[in-house]
Structure 1
Amino acid sequence: MTQQTATLRQRLRKQRRSLNRFQQRVFATQSLHKISRLAEFQSAQKIGLYLDAFGEIQTKKIIELCFALNKSVYLPMICNMNHHLVWVKISRNIYRNKRFSLHALGMLEPMASRGIHVSHLDLLIMPLLACDRYGTRMGMGGGFYDRTLASAPHKPYRLGLGHNFQYLDIHLERHTWDQAVDAFICPAKTYRFRRKL
């Protein structure tokens, strides 16, 4: 990782964490409206999501909408053997009663021993630190999504979710292992990409 990338990551993390509760609620509602109108969301039955923990767009309203529409919700769990993500189906009861465990990296995970491969999902809504105009996704640096998605080239549809300032009208460096997104939604706009440069 270059010093420039490290500095950009640090700045975006700080900016994301500086948002207050009111801003987070507004941005979550605006993002929900855009996602609910997305054809890929409307047709999807198995949807992978995340539990926000580091200032990302909050996913509570999206998860509740999925349950209301009888869509299946899956949350990521880190497999300690290979550091890939597996996807665990959760119920409304599990979600509302917060039956999760705290991972050492600081996020909540489902309390389950098994999950499905990401390719079984129809839609994957994932967090990021930045997305450029080509759909290049910059994550938190652990590589979990990149390793996982490398084994699923065709499915699911990859949707990045972030704040307006996380869309960068530049060309981020993309390594061979970096996994791009098909679209990026932020409160202000929906961007669609051709995944291969």
Structure 2
Amino acid sequence: MSSEKESIRKKYKQKRKSLSVEEVNRLSEAILLQFKKWLVLKPEINHFHIFLPIARQNEVNTLLIRDFLFEQGKSVYTSFVRHEQLTMDTVKVYPETKYQIDSLGIPTPIESEVVSTKDLQLVLVPLLAFDLNGDRIGFGKGYYDKFLSVLDPEVVKMGLSFFPPLTKIPSELHDIPLDYCITGEKVFTF
């Protein structure tokens, strides 16, 4: 991994950490608004895989998006992380699903069943930073690049970011670019 990538990761972790709870909530609501506008143009998308936010990392509050999708009658999925294998299992969640916080701070369903990824049409991808080409920097473990690499290429890959794009992020062969990234101001298309 390049030192430039690690430098960007460190900088954006700090930028996110410096956000107040109020700022995270305000920015998450602005991202939700942009997501709603985008989704109006994509009524054919019904199966959404979302990451659930790690509060201590000041991640985008995707619970707002999850609840909106339930209101719209959409199917919602998330993942269990298998830390030892650096892989993720997909599980379907429902409005009544109960969650617990795992060792990384990720809300995970208490009761769930692993399902196939064949129905997925859109995946919300966590990130720290992204660029104008759709390349992104995450936390560096590679969970999402591995997960995305086995999905149908037609599955929409969408990032969510509190911050505007960088001009260019160094990418590696295993990195899978985004199709879209939503900030509070706009939807970027790649």
Same fold (TM over 0.5): yes
Amino acid at match of 2:51: Y
The question of whether the paired residues in 2 share the 8 Å contact of 1:130 and 1:137 is answered with: yes
Partner of 1:149 in structure 2?
148
1:180 is aligned to 2:183: no
Which residue in 2 is equivalent to 1:168? 166
How far apart in 1 are the matches of 2:112 and 2:77?
Answer: 14
Separation in 2 of the partners of 1:117 and 1:133?
Answer: 32
8 Å contact 1:123–1:157 — kept in the other structure? Answer: yes
Q: Report 1 or 2 for greater relative contact order, CA contacts < 8 Å, sequence distance ≥ 6.
A: 2
Residue equivalent to 1:189? 186
CA contact (8 A) 2:2 2:170 kept: no
Aligned length: 187
State the alpha-carbon separation in 2 of the partners of residues 120 and 129 from structure 1: 27
**Distance 1:41-1:163 versus aligned 2 partners, 3 A rule:** farther
Q: Which secondary structure does the structure 1 equivalent of 2:169 belong to?
A: coil
Contact 1:121 1:155 in 2 (8 A): no
What's the Cα RMSD here?
1.9
- Deviation per CA, 1:117-169, whole angstroms, max 9, x where unpaired? 4443111112101111110121110100001111125132100001124x212
Pairing of 1:1-150 with structure 2 (within 5 A): 1-39=1-39, 42-53=43-54, 54-80=57-83, 82-94=85-97, 99-112=98-111, 114-150=113-149
Secondary structure, counterpart of 1:16 in structure 2: helix
Whole-angstrom distance in 1 between the partners of 2:95 and 2:145: 28
Q: CA deviation at 1:73?
A: 1.1
Gap change, CA 1:155 and 1:119, over 3 Å in 2 = farther
Distance 1:21 1:86 in 2: 30
Structure 2 Cα separation of the partners of residues 189 and 159 of structure 1: 13
Cα deviation, 1:165-191, whole Å, max 9, x if unaligned, reads: 4x212x211111111110110001211
User: What letter is aligned with 1:29?
Assistant: E
Kept after mapping to 1: 8 A contact 2:5/2:137: no
Paired-residue identity, %: 24
Distance 1:117 1:155, change over 3 A: farther
The aligned amino acid for 2:180 is A
Find the residue that maps to 2:7 and give its secondary structure: helix
Give the alignment's TM-score, normalised by structure 2.
0.89
TM-score by length of 1: 0.86
Q: Which runs of 5+ in 2 are unaligned?
A: none
Three-state SS of the structure 1 residue aligned to 2:188 is strand
Deviates more, 1:151-160 or 1:36-45: 36-45
